[in-house]
Structure 1
Amino acid sequence: MPSSGESPAAARPRLTPAAFARRAAGLGRGERLTVIGLTRDGVGAMLAAGEVDRGVLLVASEDLHSSAAVIDRLLDDLAELALVRWPDWPGRDGSIPDAATSGASAPWLKAAGAEAASGRPPRFRRMTRALEFEQLLRAVDASSVILVAEVDPVSPARARAVIEALEWCAGRGAACVLALPAEPPDTPPYDRTLYGACTIGRALAPVAERFIAPRSQAHPASEAERRVEAALAKDPELTGLFSGNEIVQVAGHGQQPRVDLVCRRHRIVVEIDGPEHQVNPKFRRDRHRDYELLVAGYLVLRLTNDEVADDLQRAIEKIRAVVRLRLHPSSGDTTR
């Protein structure tokens, strides 16, 4: 129980993403878990990142206004999924899965296997929903699929349809996660989902990782800059580190330098020079600017337009080596 003056929301356990994934993966048959502050897709991404060793199905409930409609859509999806996974149904030995191993009924397996083998989803609308649900769930994953559904925290009517559908699923052995993107009121129908609900605690990322650079700030007249910037954006190790055509603050009261590419996180500047930078007065000004940037704590790497044109990947590898040097200054080997 929350202490006096403490709101129920403040008293909810805050789990790390990894702890949440473990808790969801450990749900038993018929157990439910409510998480507040995540969408359905957010839960799915978190479980995927946690490498949960069970199947996870994101339940489609958009534009469905009754629990029956949500359940029917779920049965359709499970049948489609069973068809996609055929013939790799749990316990399958030969052409038909083994009923004793999978827990599914032998008559259903025979009929469903025939449908799937013919390329049709094994959906039998004359069966009761409950029986069909249990059979499809086992065919998709013998360890029981985790169903994840999003509950509208603002509209009780829309929320009720999803909550009742997930309660129905849990009553038939499914493990269920209800995702509420925001804290709902502690009133029906939400009140019956909030016992044991958790939230997700995340460490605040460094500001550099929370900044999304503009699509391109490369100098519009520099083809070499645009090529390097595009290559950096596609490189898994270097993407997001550099921004282009930006001003860097240095000591003094003169004009602050605008550089071709800067990585503020690791204090690296990359300049891409055309032939005019090889002669005075630009050559002399460039050397002074390199000094100002060095004193301000920046490493400066200069590439030429010809280097970029002749071997773009080699130019990118030079940038990578400087980044790694910043990351591991005590190591002279930046190729690892």
Structure 2
Amino acid sequence: MPRSGESTARPCLTPTDLAGRVAGLAGGERLAVIGLTRDGIGEALAAAEIGRGALLVAAEDPRSSTALVDRLLDDLAELALARWPDWPEGSAPAVSGPWLKAAATLAASGRPPRFRRVARALECAQLLRVVEPDSVILVAEVDPVSPARAAPVIEALEWCAGHGASCILALPAAPPDLPPYDRILYGACTIGRASRPAAERFISARSRAHPASEAERRVEAALAADPELAGLFTGNEIVRVAGHGQQPRVDLVCRAHRIVVEIDGPEHQASPKFAQDRHRDYELLVAGYLVLRLTNDQVTADLQRAIEKIRAVVRLRRPLSSASLPSAGDTTR
């Protein structure tokens, strides 16, 4: 084990990689994670659907490790009550059946199966098994700045790991390699995130519609108010196409699904605009963009129908389960 003060190269995981590693933790194992809060780890586990239960430990006021363990046992008892009568058969290893019988009696009467006079170790082992047969994952946040606040949390999680829990200690920032942190930093991992393209990191102005186009502004506002389409399109932007000529500026673009929506006034129906538009559609198509053209009159006459056409194109480019979304003509969302 590295001595205090030695620098240690720690594995850098994405939140998805972390979820996979946590899913493989056995009962009694623990892992320190640097770079995520307790809630951040919870979100990563929920998004990955790892197939195991995890409890975000309440440790906002870490007065002592004993108080934290008592609060944790209270929470486990509440969870056990919520799962009654769907408890696994048998009892945890090295725990006799009488506890399970007494706990079932309490749960059947609507009371949490918590026994203050029973040894905490016995209660912990049995409650862990009742709540999650494959071992509950406990996720607690450790203060990376205050050793006094960190020590009770670390002690409580070490105790829980010693009685069969899989434990995650979340450190939002890297702590010093000094007591009490040195007890958990061996084998720790850090969290990194893959860099996203600049277009995904750019936050555009609230409205980019052409100021002279009432139809564009109406469509933009309707898209922003639609639960499914909000945030997908930005307006009045340049789209890069092949060649060295002038790059087209389009009315609305969804870069994530490579869709362009053009809203044409009457001037687009005659030469030379009509021919220019056809060539621009070709350039956008070759660049991978699907172009939908609507007219000002269509938007003015039936705005919702125009939005449904856009929705249908989005679903064409981003197939989704028909069970999770209404049909393209359904406006009841």
TM-score (norm 1): 0.75
Letter in 2 for 1:278: P
Structure 2: give runs of 5+ residues left out of the alignment: 320-333
1:120 aligns with 2:108: no
User: Any idea what SS the aligned residue of 1:234 has?
Assistant: coil
User: Contact 2:224 / 2:231 at 8 angstroms: preserved in 1?
Assistant: no
Hey, what's the Cα distance between the residues in 1 that align with 2:20 and 2:240?
Answer: 46
| Conserved? CA contact 1:116–1:122, under 8 Å | yes
- Structure 2 residue aligned with 1:313, among 308, 312, 326? 308
Quote the residue 1:225 is aligned against: 220
Where in structure 2 are the equivalents of 1:293-312 lying within 5 Å?
300-303=291-294, 304-305=298-299, 306=301, 308-310=303-305, 312=307
Question: Could you say what secondary structure the match of 1:52 adopts?
Answer: coil
* 1:83 aligned partner, one-letter code: L
Query: Which blocks of at least 5 consecutive residues in structure 1 are unaligned?
Result: 92-97, 326-336
How far apart, in 2, do the equivalents of 1:202 and 1:212 lie?
19
Q: 1:234 aligns with which of 228, 233, 250?
A: 228
Cα displacement (A) at 1:186: 0.5
Question: What CA deviation, in whole Å up to 9, does each residue of 1:51-107 have, x standing for no partner?
Answer: 32332111111133322222122111111111111111111xxxxxx34x7765322
Aligned residue in 2 for 1:7: 7
Q: Residue 247 of structure 1 contacts residue 259 of structure 1 at CA under 8 Å; is this kept in 2?
A: yes
Tell me the number of residue pairs that the alignment of Structure 1 and Structure 2 aligns: 304
1:85 lines up with 2:83 in the alignment: yes
Letter paired with 2:166: A
Task: Determine the structure 2 residue equivalent to 1:334.
Answer: none
SS at match of 2:110: coil
Give secondary structure in 2 for the equivalent of 1:28.
Answer: coil
- Corresponding residue for residue 330 of structure 2: none
Give the Cα–Cα distance (whole angstroms) in 2 for the partners of residues 15 and 316 of structure 1: 36
* Cα distance, 1:271 vs structure 2: 2.4
Shift of 1:205: 2.7
Cα shift readout 1:2-40 (whole Å, capped 9, x = no counterpart): 8xx9832xx112345454334323323322111211221
Alignment of 1:104-115 (within 5 A): 104-115=95-106
- Does 1:57 find its partner at 2:55? yes
Query: Which of residues 151, 157, 172 is equivalent to 1:181?
Result: 172
Give me the whole-angstrom Cα distance separating, in 1, the residues matched to 2:45 and 2:187: 19
Is the contact made by 2:41 and 2:170 (CA closer than 8 Å) also made in structure 1? yes
Q: Deviations over 1:155-182 (max 9, x none)?
A: 1111112111111111222221111111
Sort the Cα spacing of 1:157 and 1:283 in 2 relative to 1 into closer, same or farther, 3 A. farther
Query: Is 1:210 matched up with 2:201?
Result: yes
| Distance in structure 2 (CA, Å) of the matches to 1:143 and 1:246 | 52
- Which position in structure 2 is the counterpart of 1:270? 261
Distance 1:230 1:218, change over 3 A: farther
Give the 3-state SS of the residue equivalent to 2:178 in structure 1: coil
Deviations 1:261-320 (A, max 9, x none): 1234565431235xxx22589996676567567657565421230353346423421354
Q: Does 1:23 align with 2:21?
A: yes
Amino acid at match of 2:304: A
Larger mean CA deviation between 203-212 and 24-33 belongs to 203-212
Aligned partners of 1:136, 1:324: CA distance in 2, in Å? 44
Match of 1:332 in 2: none
Identity %: 62
Query: Which moves more between the two structures, 123-132 or 205-214?
Result: 205-214
Answer yes or no: is the 8 Å Cα contact 2:239–2:248 preserved in 1. Answer: yes
Given that 2:292 and 2:310 are in contact with CA atoms closer than 8 Å, whether structure 1 keeps it comes out as no
Cα gap change, 1:185/1:79 in structure 2, threshold over 3 Å: closer, same or farther? same
CA distance in 2, matches of 1:90, 1:17: 31
Displacement of 1:45 in angstroms is 2.5
Q: Check conservation: 1:25, 1:53, Cα contact below 8 A.
A: yes
Letter in 2 for 1:234: E
Judge conservation of contact 2:237–2:253 (CA < 8 Å) in 1.
Answer: yes
Aligned to 2:122: 131
SS at match of 2:235: strand
Partners of 1:17 and 1:166 in 2: CA distance: 22
Asked if 1:68 corresponds to 2:66, the answer is yes
Change (3 A) 1:27 1:224: closer
- Report which stretch shifted further, 193-202 or 147-156: 193-202
User: In angstroms, what is the RMSD of aligned CA positions?
Assistant: 3.6
Secondary structure in structure 1 of the residue aligned to 2:138: strand
**2:240, 2:17 → 1: CA distance?**
42
Task: Provide the rounded CA distance (Å) in 2 between the counterparts of 1:47 and 1:40.
Answer: 11
